[in-house]
Chain A
Amino acid sequence: MKYLKTWPVWMLMGLIVVALLTVGTTRDTGPLTQSDRIDSITKHIACPTCDGESVFVSRASAAEAIRNQVARDVSAGTMTDDEIIGSIANTFNGKVLLVPRATGVDSLVWILPIAVLVCAVAGLWAAFRRWRRDNSGEASSDDVALVEKLLAEDPTDEDNV
């Protein structure tokens, strides 16, 4: 059994995972229905008259109107999803985007999590370094002498080993 758990087998397992992930992520997912596309787009647009809900979630009439506009754009088949979102966002001066832009002050919402993560990981790394340093104390000559003395008293005593 032990030979199974050696590094070549782990390498093989890694290769299997990479192969399976490659197959799974590169194969054709099939066409989306129009409804799927509408759902996906409306999840990125906020309902302008609601309390923080997306057009996809909201049942308000303003959301219904935007949903119908998106449905028309999707049916026309001339725009990509991003273009449809951009066109709706322009109509409302960008106030209906549910994903903050990565420019200007809005970018802080993206930068701060990364900054906090980096600080936390750096703090953890520093803590482990400090702990390792604290742990690496050499035995003093007194400690060595004490152990030698105890061993010399009764070398067969297991408690002393």
Chain B
Amino acid sequence: MLGVEGLAGPLGRAALLVGLIGAFFGLIAAVMGTRNEDEKVLRLVPRFATLSCVSAIAAFAAMEWAMITRDFSLAYIQKVGSKSTPALYNFTAVWSALEGSILLWLLVLTCLTSGIVFKYRTRITDPMVGWAVATMFFVGIFFFILTLGPANPFAVGAPGVLDGPGPNPLLQNHILVVFHPPILYLGYVGMTVPFAFAIGALITGRVGEGWLVETRRWALFSWGFLTLGIILGSWWSYEVLGWSGVWAWDPVENASFIPWLTGTAYIHSVLVQERRGMLRVWNLSLLVSTFSLTILGTFLTRSGVLNSVHAFSESSIGPYLLSFFAIIVVVSVALIGWRGQKLHSPGTIDSPLSREGAFLANNVVFSVFAFVVLLGTVFPLIIEAFQNRQLVVGEPFFDKLAVPAGLTLLFLMCVAPVLPWRKASGELLADRLFWPAWGGIGALAFSVGLGATGFAPLLTFALGGFAGGAALRQLVLATRRQGLRGFVGRANGGMVVHIGVILIAVALAASNSYTHSQELLLKQGVVATFDGHTFELMGFKEESDARSTVVAAMVRVDGGKTYTPAITKYKSIGTNIGTPSVKSSFVKDIYLTIEPPVKVSSKTAKIKVFIKPMVMWLWIGGGLMGVGTVLSAFPGRRRKPTDATSALVPSETSA
């Protein structure tokens, strides 16, 4: 008979099986009901959605229960569980490896499917909703199959195991592991919703603008979470990894960044379709790309074909993900081809010097940027496949190509917000760009005055000031007309997002270009100086428990507060992990790490000091992007049907 301890495995497996059955019948009901216009059958869809969602919740709860009770009968708990892991990190250990992360994906996906079905419960007989829900069930079935097959978190482990190593040490020393993966997954998985509606629109042939309106907020919601997830990941990297950076162009980071780039292109170009009825094929392609790239990224980082600091170990999941990716691409392309005639939009873009022209340019840059990151990520694979030799494509390559792309996007952020729809004249641009341009000159003069050097960072500051001026101009005009409501709506909320992006760009340029570092051999009682700051070793702090031994150097910075860079030795794994300590301010961070070996008895410590300007503005910019996304999701001022879409612009030929 099974004791309570061994119950999580069978329960979890049963829940996953029931969930799979629910999703399968949900798919059948959605397809058959929609095809046969059978309302009775369609009314069953919400029940199947609820069944698969509740099953996924039960499976996730069973896994948490297994983790909390340290049920070492399961192979997954043997891999990432440990009796000595603190409760919080034991809870988050569920998504610290492949099988658990796929389970988390499934949980989010089934909840979203249920949410969609609930939201459209009164319109379930609408064929477009029916096909969209069927698509979501189809994706759900795939992930249920993964969790029951190659990524089964409830697989029975070897007998007699009484303890495990616990999660990766890097995943058990910072609170952000609680938030970063779930938020990132909300973004990843959320992209399924607009993709599903795009498929629904293609199947039904209702490829006008209706489905865009249905999914606008879902796309924005997913993009916002993906953005927040990436920012939190960067923050975690900065606070935990000890190399003082926020982004290493690691394959897993790239896997999240590529769909973010195509998603960002989409949320811009979709405005052109909503306003002008154009770019239908392009927008569908961007949505399909964004969703399929999340699957491709998962394949690249979870199958073991690429190496990465936080890629999970090799597994047999690769062929499944690759096949699913191929199915998505082939079916989507075939559907787009099938609806080719209907997708043809009659409108034209009058001038490159227009809002829609700027959006098109922005889309070109985002798409090429996404291609560059994808190419750099998979290029080692290509070389290995064709030439059987190993190659690493790293940070310097990506930096070299990302800088011009970033600067071009900043330039577009200067001009696009002031451009009217359809066509702008030179006079209009000169008028609207005048003060924002002075903002750019002011920012450049200020940074040169402070001693800033280097072409790329200076241009970033100048364009940052210019783009910031353009965004503020839009917000000032909007708030003058509408008061606080001027911050709300797509255009105005979008400008808040722009300001967040500008802050991030400027902070990245400053912190990457002007970081100084020095290794200091600190002796207790002797003050050392670097870059105008004083550092004094006050002593050491040692802590030990069943899990780890921590040695921290207590370093007083500038005669004030004491900071404690540390090295933690995880006993069960035998790994040493450094933990930085950071003095943050709006102007600069002082980032301290302790270099091994640490000899407490010698009363000396080798401390590496990084002086990093403006890092805090990265997090402030990220926060602003989140706020702006929320503001964008609310409806702005309603446009009267009789309002002109843009101000009248005198034609160049008229005198």
Contact = CB atoms under 8 A, between A and B. Distances in A.
B441 interface: yes
A25 B367 CA distance: 31
A72 interface: no
Given A52-B309, A105-B386, A131 B348 contact: yes
B250 interface: yes
Nearest to B530: A33
A39 B610 CA distance: 11
A95 B393 contact: no
B634 interface: no
Contacts of A10: 430, 437
Contacts of A51: 307-309, 311
Nearest to B367: A120
Interface in B276-316: 306-309, 311
A4 B519 CA distance: 53
Interface in A54-106: 54, 56-57, 59, 95-100, 105-106
Contact of B306 (A52, A59, A99, A127): A52
A124 B430 CA distance: 25
A4 B434 contact: yes
Interface residues of A, number: 54
B41 interface: no
B315 to A, nearest CB: 15
B360 A124 contact: yes
Given A20-B444, A113-B368, A135-B348, A36 B243 contact: no
Contacts of B376: 109
10 contacts: A5-B431, A13-B438, A24-B444, A36-B516, A52-B309, A52-B394, A53-B248, A113-B368, A113-B372, A124-B360
A116 interface: yes
A138 to B, nearest CB: 15
Interface stretch (B211-219, B455-463, B622-630): B455-463
Contacts of B375: 109, 112-113
B458 A20 contact: yes
Given A52-B250, A52-B309, 4 more contacts: A39-B515, A54-B248, A57-B309, A59-B576
A44 B364 CA distance: 29
Nearest to A97: B392
Interface of B: 241-243, 245, 248, 250-251, 306-309, 311, 348-350, 352, 357, 360-361, 364, 367-368, 371-372, 375-376, 379, 383, 386-387, 389-397, 400-401, 430-431, 434, 437-438, 440-441, 444-445, 447-448, 452-455, 458-459, 462, 515-519, 576-578, 608
Given A113-B375, A124-B361, A35 B519 contact: yes
Contacts of A146: none
Nearest to A29: B453
Interface string A116-148: 110011001001101110110000000000000
A39 B517 contact: yes
Contact of A57 (B245, B251, B453, B517): B245
Contact of B392 (A20, A25, A27, A98): A98
A52 B348 contact: no
A27 to B, nearest CB: 6
Given A59-B242, A124-B360, A33 B448 contact: no
Contacts of B578: 59
A57 B364 contact: no
Contacts of A116: 368, 371
Contacts of A54: 248, 394-395
B348 A20 contact: no
A96 B250 CA distance: 15
A161 interface: no
A43 B395 CA distance: 7
Contacts of A43: 395-396
B349 A46 contact: no
B517 A36 contact: yes
A44 B379 CA distance: 17
A52 B307 contact: yes
A112 B458 CA distance: 28
Chain A CB count within 10 A is highest, among B251, B394, B434, for: B394
B397 A109 contact: yes
B350 A131 contact: yes
B639 to A, nearest CB: 21
B432 to A, nearest CB: 10
A30 B371 CA distance: 37
Contacts of A25: 453-455, 458
Given A113-B375, A124-B360, A134-B348, A21 B444 contact: yes
A21 B459 contact: yes
Which of A24, A46, A98, A106 has the largest number of chain B CB atoms within 10 A? A24
B518 A46 contact: no
Contacts of B454: 24-25, 29
Contacts of A27: 453
A128 B250 contact: no
A150 interface: no
A152 interface: no
B510 to A, nearest CB: 13
B504 to A, nearest CB: 21
B14 to A, nearest CB: 36
The 3 closest A-B pairs by CB, nearest first: A98-B394, A51-B307, A131-B348
Given A51-B307, A105-B383, A57 B241 contact: yes
Contacts of B455: 21, 24-25
A16 B608 CA distance: 40
Given A100-B379, A105-B386, A52 B448 contact: no
Contacts of A46: 392, 394
A5 to B, nearest CB: 5
Contacts of A108: 379
Given A5-B434, A35-B519, A120 B441 contact: no
Nearest to B242: A59
Contacts of A96: 392
Contacts of A56: 243
A57 B437 contact: no
B371 A113 contact: yes
B644 to A, nearest CB: 15
A39 B511 CA distance: 14
B352 A128 contact: yes
A105 B387 contact: yes
B500 to A, nearest CB: 25
